[in-house]
Structure 1
Amino acid sequence: MIPFSTIVEPAEAPARFPSPFDRAAIHPLARRAAAETMTLLDAGLGDAWELGQVGGGKMFGVLVVAASDGSLGYLRAFSGMLKGQWTIAGWAPPTFDARARDVIWIPGEAALAALSHDAARTAMSRELLPAIQGTYSFANARGEVRALHELFAPAQPPAGAGDCAAPKLLAEAYAKGLRPLALAEFWWGAPPRSGDRRSGSFYAACQGKCPPLLAHMLSGLPADPPPQYGSAALAPHEPTVVYEDAHVVVVDKPSGMLSVPGLSQKDCVSNRLRARYPEATGQLVVHRLDLDTSGLLIAAKDPQTFSALQRLFSQRAIAKRYVAWLDGVLIGERGVVDLPIRMDVEDRPRQIHDPVHGKSAMTEWAVLERGNDRTKLALVPLTGRTHQLRVHASHPLGLDAPIVGDRLYGREAPEHGERLLLHAESVAFTHPVTGVSIQLSRPAPF
């Protein structure tokens, strides 16, 4: 256990373990432990580990813990390996049985090196992975130990499961008889090649590898549940009808309301429209706005109109304009961002830039206003990718200034109740039934 640089009283500890999946819930003690670790990295350790080189950055984590005598301190960990090493003194070790893993990996690595074809190496790596994953096990606060395969069953664990900083830290705490109190994970060093991490920024535990692990490892602790976004936390108002005829309805969606039902939340624009128009048939909402985004949303009252509007979207025949406040000062007055993006399969629903496998994504932008280290923009998406505007705003190769209030891509998690400052301000299209030109606008509420 690493002592804090100055005395910390037990009364400062949280009564419940904040959810590691809630970026806005990082406890002040965890932030303090992270700040001390960042100082250590900034003082030269990061340079020694070459974290500033292209693609060399890394996720780190800290875990505030209590010893049996009530004293408080923290543990440190890094994700995966550092400079080819799993174990470095002063940092939490990996969660696998090192001896058992060596029995599998040492001869396996030699066999892989002897193969001359990439396809053969890939096939053998896939054969080795389940055996290596069999060397991982995880305890919880009750002392219950579960194997990695058990925690992901009936699915197979993804590659790298158990190697994130969070499970390493909890495993080390239990092994040393320490009580976990609060966790924080942050990125340090150069951004990854996808560009979706900023040095010194905090991030929630990943959604691809960590949920089954951390649900088990936190069992037995008084811990907060993961946040359920879209669960009326912002008490959204009823969508306001902006335009309506026999075939089409356009509403102004409030921030904090889903466009269509989610896995755990059924209240949404689609279901509210269904209640409002019980005679409507087929699907209603033609496109989607993110939960946190407000603005104009188009719906159809019958299947034929729905299909026709979807064709207009696919043909890019529906013009949309958004407004947003960005957290930063932009150079220039207008331009185009052209960055292909795709789903981050290890951390859904985040999207990342991928020039090889990503789908084409283009956004026009123009400055509307400047002030207080922020820039207000008009944004016109020329393609319709998930989170396109948010990624294009935040990415270093894009505008390098995230949208204010962005809980996924922002520099900091928004304060409780703070909304994403992104609004779908206007839409324009030719009515698929009447042929009339429809142009609608709704000013942003910010």
Structure 2
Amino acid sequence: MPSRDAVTYFEPQPAPAEVPVRLTDPFAEDLPHPLARRAAEELMAFLRHGGFALGALDAPGQGKMFGVLVVAAPDGRIGYLRGFSGMLDGRWRIDGFAPPLFDPIARDAFLPAGEAELRALGERHTELVEGPEPTALRANLAELTARHGAAMEEMRARHDANRGLRHDARQRLANGEVRDDERHATLQALGEESRADAAELRRLEGAHHQAREVVVSALRALDTERAGLEHLRAERSRQLWRRISESYVIPNARGESRTVGALFAPEPPPGGAGDCAAPKLLGHAYRHGLRPLALAEFWWGAPPLTGGRHAGAYYPACRSKCGGVLPYMLEGLHVELEPRPEAGPGPVDELRVLYEDAWLLVVDKPRGLLSIPGRHEPSRDSVLVRLRRRDPDATGLVVVHALDPDTSGLLLVARDPMTHAALQRRFARSEADRRFVAWLDGQVAGGEGVIELPIRPDREDRRRHLVDPLHGKRAVTGWRVTQRSGTRTRVSLWPRTWLPHQLRVHAAHPLGLGAPVSGDRLYGGDDTRLMLHAEALTFVHPHTGVRVELECRAPF
């Protein structure tokens, strides 16, 4: 059983040769240290045999990351701490597991009131969008529109008939022998009838506008309140998150501490920063004078809805949330952090330009190169940076649809915003098309089809996206099997929409192809080369009207 400081001591104690001399890198892709795996297997056995009420973790998409940290106590004994990411069973604190890093007293002083305010704002927002008042107003407007339309149709038909009669009367005047005074009087009467019809139409349109304006004004007022409410809610949410981030106290091995907000400043920290298992474990070790030796984090329970996590499999610490926390926490320890992957600087001539004219160009993006630099890293090596280095006057370049860094192939770049918007419309109207080729890990059932699974960013891990039928954006992908080889399948993919990671999520998800792209470290189990390549591009040129067709064979 864990001791008061939550340490579970190994029995028997490991031999000195089995104990690591320094902390292993939490970001390393390699298997954890054997002693950390021993601790993890003991925790897995505890979880497997009902050591805690964990049934909810088996529900679809409800699995969780757990972790163990091998530590040395001041008396020399070797044991380990246990931790979990976020909350477990709706609780932050569970006996035998490392507690969270925030100050619960300080947090409880403001969080309940802040959450209650956000809930109230959310409920009012729902009322303004879906409540009885806007619903009744929209129904009233629809009824008015239908009734007014019918009245206008009836009047136009009557006026058309009157116009025909006046035309016939004028024809009779032109063909018959009528005194001038009679002709003048008749034409004047016909003109008055025409003006009367026009005046009647204007009166009806005015009455309709007045009746509609009452409803439209009421809807406009609700919309104005809704927009103001959204702004207020966003601002209150930001303020609350800033206060939450300041309640997280992050220590390091030198005895120093900073808040999560300070570690990510000037940007706000990502959601969940400081809540992963690794930061909790290190913080608990420092508080109790325990020396960290080895870390292991693993998934337990049902896989995420996007796939890519398997019960009992080990995973490195995430870069999105822990990348700004763990390096600080490890200061003062003897540990070599694995450098964050960066696209190599590479010479300009490595970027092949396959098509170029006065309005756009198409390049063959190599694997490992960003399409665009980050918002806060404008000079970071990328396709755009290299193109601007190639032509310093090309200041208006815009990538039409960015490719993931590890995806290679054809990338379309507009030279100005107007061309960019025109190309976007081409794709929206199916006047442009892209074809990708990929090797998938697994046998795909069937030969071809269409996947339609809505996608949104994963708030727990900003690197990833997940399928969400309720809040996700529409995402559609066409596919066709082109080759089968052993346990792998080669497919062609046609994105009909363009969302981040769409093809990778649709490939890996059980309701999609059920087979992740080979080498996909986010949604699969492999971290070799990502076997995804933009192979063909076809579009109608927005300025010349010429159909452009380009192909660049995959290097795999």
Q: TM-score range by the shorter chain?
A: 0.7 to 0.9
Measure the CA separation in 1 of the matches of 2:371 and 2:397.
12
Equivalences, count? 434
Match of 1:213?
325
Give the alignment partner of residue 371 of structure 1, picking from 480, 485, 489: 485
Give the alignment partner of residue 32 of structure 2, picking from 20, 23, 27: 27
Superposed CA RMSD in Å reads: 3.9
Moved more, 59-68 or 42-51: 42-51
Match status 1:18 vs 2:128: no
Relative to its length, the structure with more strand (as a share) is 1
Match of 1:382?
496
Measure the CA separation in 1 of the matches of 2:98 and 2:345.
36
Query: How far apart are 1:431 and its partner, in Å?
Result: 2.4
Q: Which runs of 5+ in 1 are unaligned?
A: none
SS of alignment partner, residue 325 of structure 2 = helix
Measure the CA separation in 1 of the matches of 2:370 and 2:38.
35
Cα 1:160–1:298 shift into 2, 3 Å: closer
Paired residues of 2:271 and 2:459 also in contact (CA < 8 A): no
Cα 1:161–1:276 shift into 2, 3 Å: closer
SS of alignment partner, residue 58 of structure 2 = coil
Give the alignment partner of residue 531 of structure 2, picking from 396, 414, 421: 421
> What amino acid is the match of 2:547?
S
Measure the CA separation in 2 of the matches of 1:168 and 1:357.
30
Paired residues of 2:307 and 2:524 also in contact (CA < 8 A): no
Percent identical among aligned pairs is 50
Q: Which runs of 5+ in 2 are unaligned?
A: 1-6, 125-232
TM-score (norm 2): 0.67
Paired residues of 2:271 and 2:460 also in contact (CA < 8 A): no
Query: How far apart are 1:386 and its partner, in Å?
Result: 0.8
Alignment of 1:346-365 (within 5 A): 346-365=460-479
Q: Deviations over 1:371-410 (max 9, x none)?
A: 2322111111111111111111122322222111112222
Give the alignment partner of residue 370 of structure 2, picking from 255, 258, 262: 258
Query: How far apart are 1:167 and its partner, in Å?
Result: 1.8
Match of 2:443?
329
Query: How far apart are 1:84 and its partner, in Å?
Result: 4.1
Measure the CA separation in 2 of the matches of 1:227 and 1:421.
23
Query: How far apart are 1:52 and its partner, in Å?
Result: 1.3
Match of 1:295?
409
> What amino acid is the match of 1:179?
R
Measure the CA separation in 2 of the matches of 1:193 and 1:430.
37
Cα 1:270–1:361 shift into 2, 3 Å: same
Measure the CA separation in 1 of the matches of 2:270 and 2:359.
46
Alignment of 1:128-139 (within 5 A): 136-139=248-251
Query: How far apart are 1:273 and its partner, in Å?
Result: 2.5
Moved more, 321-330 or 71-80: 71-80
Cα 1:350–1:49 shift into 2, 3 Å: same
Match of 1:319?
433
Measure the CA separation in 2 of the matches of 1:321 and 1:310.
16
CA radius of gyration, larger in = 2
TM-score (norm 1): 0.81
Give the alignment partner of residue 37 of structure 1, picking from 43, 65, 68: 43
Q: Deviations over 1:32-86 (max 9, x none)?
A: 5434433432344477544213454222112233345666543211123333444
SS of alignment partner, residue 51 of structure 1 = helix
Query: How far apart are 1:440 and its partner, in Å?
Result: 1.6
Alignment of 1:3-402 (within 5 A): 3=9, 7=14, 9-10=16-17, 13=20, 15=22, 17-20=24-27, 24-25=29-30, 27-29=32-34, 30-45=36-51, 48-68=54-74, 72-97=78-103, 100=105, 104=109, 119=123, 136-147=248-259, 150-151=262-263, 161-192=273-304, 197-206=309-318, 209-225=321-337, 227-232=339-344, 238-262=350-374, 263-264=376-377, 266-278=380-392, 280=394, 282-301=396-415, 305-402=419-516
> What amino acid is the match of 1:438?
V
Query: How far apart are 1:292 and its partner, in Å?
Result: 0.1
Paired residues of 1:19 and 1:224 also in contact (CA < 8 A): no
Match of 2:174?
none
Moved more, 423-432 or 78-87: 78-87
Q: Deviations over 1:187-226 (max 9, x none)?
A: 2112356666443344444566544433432222234446
Query: How far apart are 1:345 and its partner, in Å?
Result: 3.6
Match status 1:433 vs 2:537: no
Measure the CA separation in 2 of the matches of 1:403 and 1:183.
28
Moved more, 424-433 or 232-241: 232-241
Moved more, 143-152 or 375-384: 143-152
SS of alignment partner, residue 543 of structure 2 = coil
Match of 2:130?
none
